[in-house]
Structure 1
Amino acid sequence: MTDDRLALLGGEPVITQPLPHEVWPPPAATAELAALAAQRDADISIKGRSGPIARLEEEFLRFLDDRVRYAVTFNSGTSALLAAYFALGVTEGVQVVGPALTYHAALSPVFALRGDVALADVDLRTRGIDPGALERAITERTRVVTVVHQWGHPCDMDAVLAVAERHGLRVLEDCSHAHGSRYKGRPVGTFGDAAVFSLQANKAVFAGEGGILVTDDRRVHDRATLLGHYRDRCRDEIDDEDLRRYWVSGFGLKLRMSPFNAVVASHSLAEFPERRQGRHACLRHLGEGLAEVPYMEPVHVSEEVDMGAWYGYKPLYRPEALDGVSRATLIAALRAEGLEVGAPSGPRLATLPLYQDDRNPLFPDLGKTPHRPEPATNAELIERRALSLPTFYRWPQDKALIDLYVEAFKKVGRHRAALADHQTRTS
């Protein structure tokens, strides 16, 4: 007879498979390793838009259905965002409105350009910026709105673009979680004036470290290129005479991607369709299982979107359906059952000193313009209640493990009274 007590209280765990359960990035195939070795002997430097850099940029434009004309690689997604903000005209006194809950680097480059950030609440279902809250956050200094397709779910782009048009704002899409995601059939990254995709190692399409900026606006392309790429690329690609005269020096920074990272990214991009299919099958199965757990709310996927990459699986916890047990206690119980589970790592931006302080730490003489956002009710709820589960992608191999995850959630539900009693006794 098996011991059905919670593992946290001395019972047997549901899962005995060692962690981690999500092994990412996947191991390199022979062809990728051979391409890296060949690149080592062919050329380890960067000469303008050539070799694996040019190939990756061309492949990425095709990945976006050729709906934008320009792609520029950078050494990180953060660098690409810095270039995008610069290219869109962010400077001292300019305000950018972005979501209250996202990864800090989606907006932090604004401070390096001496700009200000205003935060707007997010939509509870998409997890991206709420169009109504966006409109209420706009001031006479707002010039750019940043949308982040958080955890892979596209924002309500029709509503965001309507707000931006009414107020004459530029739109920047941060697609770092959303490679391959689509809104009403159209790839994210092709709606705004510019878009950035991180290619960091945890992303669905990865370079190790890297980022790529895409745009259909020639001037945005030229200004972004000048910020991070000097000499050959600027000489060969920039047509505007006033900008092209800077080709030797660019605008003083070197933010270019290594050819080795471009090789890795190209192979990752080629493998993405199969991995995407596996992720969708795995996470659909996980969502169906969690729908049978009364205290969990599976991730909502709107009818008009395709999740593409996903970026982790972040369901919401309903504590009122588990006798008021805290999220921390729930996580401890699930971990004892063998799950790879935690709370999402990114707090609300308003809680971080970089966003809280009334002075810009990069420019101590520069005070920030006071911004008193409306309460970010949805952002606070997600921050308090979201769980972070693995982004399973090996289908059908992961099916049995996913079933055990669901069983562990159900087991905790069966013993909610014992768990609540344990929390009372140990608090």
Structure 2
Amino acid sequence: MTSTSADDRLALLGGRPAIGHPRPHEMWPPPGDAAELADLAGQRNTDISIKGSSGPVRALEEDFLDFLDHRVRWAVTFNSGTSALLAAYFALGVREGVDVIGPALTYHAALSPVFALRGDVVLADIDPATRCLDPRALEAAVTERTRVVTVVHQWGHPADMDRVLDIAARYGLKVVEDCSHAHGSRYRGRPVGTFGDAAVFSLQAAKAVYAGEGGILVTNDAGVHDRATLLGHYRDRSRDEVTDARLRDHWVTGFGLKLRMSPLNAVVARHALAAFPARRDARHRCLHHLGELIADVPYLEPVTVADDVDMGAWYGYKPLYRPRALPGVDRDLLIDALRAEGMEVGAPSAPRLGTLPLYAASENPLFPGTAKRPAGAMTGSAAEHVEQHALSLPTFTRWPQDKPLIEEYAAAFHKIARQGAELARYAERRAVPADAPAG
């Protein structure tokens, strides 16, 4: 990667940017093709309010069972992944006096529905390699109040399910898998979402399989299926599909909520699911190529993928910054310099959950006057380290069209490495107040 001295000057300092492709570089979700748009138009004139499990909603659920190698028996759609998680926690008995253990660094909605059920969340540290719940931290957090553990397959990398399931079995815990980042990911050859007592996939627009808004809960447990169905669905579906006769008595009303998916969202999701295998393969080729090109950048810790897992869809490319390799340059300045080179880059948007008011407060804001356990910020933890050092890059999906752009990204990273001393001098000059006396 040789350059002329003029080309090698940092764009932040007036040089030519290394990346010539205009932004945005990640355009997602992709536009609907003719077949999808025709199906949407047809559904609009057929039925836009499906009351039971039929039409595209039923077809999506059946497609999803096939997607998971038929290792789960039931799939139930919801209007969002958050609603599906609420249904999962409700079905597993989360209520006042119950603790749910989950990872300290993830998207807030993985655990926030617990508060709507008056439960408490206990945060445990993450494994810095997988970025998922650390089994050692999980076991240390178990108390007599613990009933459920939530694993999030963070950014697409599967959690260590063997160890999590072993701990759950020894302590009598139920397991929820949040697979919202991990469509198509596999742990030791088996699809994520097929290990826990319940699993949830978000189908929000940023996900690899998207509905616009939507979620889907999967389970092998008849009781979980029945209670989750009754939380979000009533009348036809609950009458026809709830297996427990005593629970089926609630079929007219369900449990008072309406959280079902629109058939139009189901149409979109079916097309996204059908297109997923080709898009997954393209993402793997793109991000493997990027990883190879930046493996020797001294200030980056590349994304590592364990030998016994498959990243499925990925969910962004998130290496860690090693600030010791660029002394005097903090992450914010590095991001500024990379953006000046034309890169679409930032810090991941999810902070440690313990720093958010919903988690840190000692009162449940949904039930004023009700005390809850405040979560600590977990300073000095692996979660803090990843939060403070991760970079978030696009999830390149088009291969080979994105190959030249990926190579420009790599060139930008290497350019910063070559000009690290100049960037550090810039940081030092910027830190000196304008009215500081000379000398």
Give the secondary-structure state (helix, strand or coil) at the position aligned to 1:42: coil
Question: Is 1:92 matched up with 2:62?
Answer: no
1:314-344 Cα distance to aligned partner (Å, 9 max, x none) = 0001010112410000000000000000000
Question: Is 1:181 matched up with 2:194?
Answer: no
Question: Is 1:294 matched up with 2:287?
Answer: no
* Structure 1 match to 2:163: 159
Q: Distance in 2 between matches of 1:359 and 1:180?
A: 38
* Structure 2 match to 1:8: 12
Asked whether the 8 Å contact 1:340–1:389 carries over to 2, the reply is yes
1:208-246 Cα distance to aligned partner (Å, 9 max, x none) = 000000000000000000000010000001121210000
Q: Equivalent of 2:221, from 212, 217, 220?
A: 217
Matches within 5 A, 1:211-360: 211-360=215-364
Amino acid corresponding to residue 145 of structure 1 in structure 2 = V
Question: Is 1:199 matched up with 2:177?
Answer: no
1:330-380 Cα distance to aligned partner (Å, 9 max, x none) = 000000000000000000000000000000000012101356686561101
Q: Distance in 1 between matches of 2:310 and 2:419?
A: 36
Asked whether the 8 Å contact 1:137–1:373 carries over to 2, the reply is no
Matches within 5 A, 1:330-409: 330-369=334-373, 377-409=381-413
Q: Distance in 1 between matches of 2:109 and 2:130?
A: 20
Asked whether the 8 Å contact 1:122–1:376 carries over to 2, the reply is no
Change in Cα spacing, 1:323 to 1:369, as seen in structure 2 (3 Å) is closer
1:55-100 Cα distance to aligned partner (Å, 9 max, x none) = 0000000000000000000000000000000000000110000000
Q: Distance in 1 between matches of 2:376 and 2:24?
A: 41
Question: Is 1:55 matched up with 2:64?
Answer: no
Amino acid corresponding to residue 232 of structure 1 in structure 2 = D
Q: Distance in 2 between matches of 1:262 and 1:50?
A: 11
Amino acid corresponding to residue 381 of structure 1 in structure 2 = H
Give the secondary-structure state (helix, strand or coil) at the position aligned to 1:3: helix
When the two chains are superposed, the root-mean-square deviation of aligned CA atoms in Å is 1.0
Asked whether the 8 Å contact 2:116–2:366 carries over to 1, the reply is yes
1:273-325 Cα distance to aligned partner (Å, 9 max, x none) = 00000000000001111102111111010000000010001000101011241
Change in Cα spacing, 1:253 to 1:296, as seen in structure 2 (3 Å) is same
So what's the TM-score if we normalise by structure 1? 0.99
Amino acid corresponding to residue 234 of structure 1 in structure 2 = S
Q: In terms of mean alpha carbon deviation, does 184-193 or 10-19 score higher?
A: 10-19
Question: Is 1:422 matched up with 2:419?
Answer: no
Q: Which runs of 5+ in 2 are unaligned?
A: 432-439
Q: What's the % identity of the aligned pairs?
A: 72
Amino acid corresponding to residue 127 of structure 1 in structure 2 = R
Q: Equivalent of 1:124, from 125, 128, 131?
A: 128
1:368-421 Cα distance to aligned partner (Å, 9 max, x none) = 135668656110100010000000011111111101100000001111111001
Give the secondary-structure state (helix, strand or coil) at the position aligned to 2:76: strand
Q: Distance in 1 between matches of 2:189 and 2:7?
A: 49
Change in Cα spacing, 1:372 to 1:319, as seen in structure 2 (3 Å) is closer
Q: Tell me which stretches of 4 or more aligned residues in structure 1 moved more than 6 Å.
A: none
Q: Distance in 2 between matches of 1:157 and 1:66?
A: 19
Residue 3 of structure 1: how far off its partner (Å):
3.1
Q: Equivalent of 1:137, from 128, 141, 152?
A: 141
Amino acid corresponding to residue 30 of structure 2 in structure 1 = P
Matches within 5 A, 1:62-101: 62-101=66-105
Q: Which runs of 5+ in 1 are unaligned?
A: none
Change in Cα spacing, 1:242 to 1:376, as seen in structure 2 (3 Å) is farther
Q: Distance in 2 between matches of 1:329 and 1:81?
A: 37
Give the secondary-structure state (helix, strand or coil) at the position aligned to 1:249: coil
Asked whether the 8 Å contact 2:150–2:177 carries over to 1, the reply is yes
Q: Distance in 2 between matches of 1:72 and 1:338?
A: 43
Q: Distance in 1 between matches of 2:13 and 2:305?
A: 36
Asked whether the 8 Å contact 1:76–1:211 carries over to 2, the reply is yes
Q: Distance in 1 between matches of 2:65 and 2:77?
A: 12
Asked whether the 8 Å contact 1:194–1:214 carries over to 2, the reply is yes
Amino acid corresponding to residue 154 of structure 1 in structure 2 = P
1:154-192 Cα distance to aligned partner (Å, 9 max, x none) = 000000001111100000000000000000000000000
Question: Is 1:149 matched up with 2:156?
Answer: no
Asked whether the 8 Å contact 2:29–2:206 carries over to 1, the reply is yes
Give the secondary-structure state (helix, strand or coil) at the position aligned to 1:338: coil
Q: Equivalent of 2:33, from 29, 33, 50?
A: 29
Asked whether the 8 Å contact 1:229–1:250 carries over to 2, the reply is yes
Change in Cα spacing, 1:227 to 1:419, as seen in structure 2 (3 Å) is same
Amino acid corresponding to residue 406 of structure 2 in structure 1 = I
Q: Distance in 1 between matches of 2:52 and 2:262?
A: 11
Give the secondary-structure state (helix, strand or coil) at the position aligned to 1:221: helix
Q: Distance in 1 between matches of 2:328 and 2:154?
A: 28
Give the secondary-structure state (helix, strand or coil) at the position aligned to 1:369: coil
Asked whether the 8 Å contact 1:118–1:373 carries over to 2, the reply is no
So what's the TM-score if we normalise by structure 2? 0.96
Q: Distance in 1 between matches of 2:427 and 2:235?
A: 62
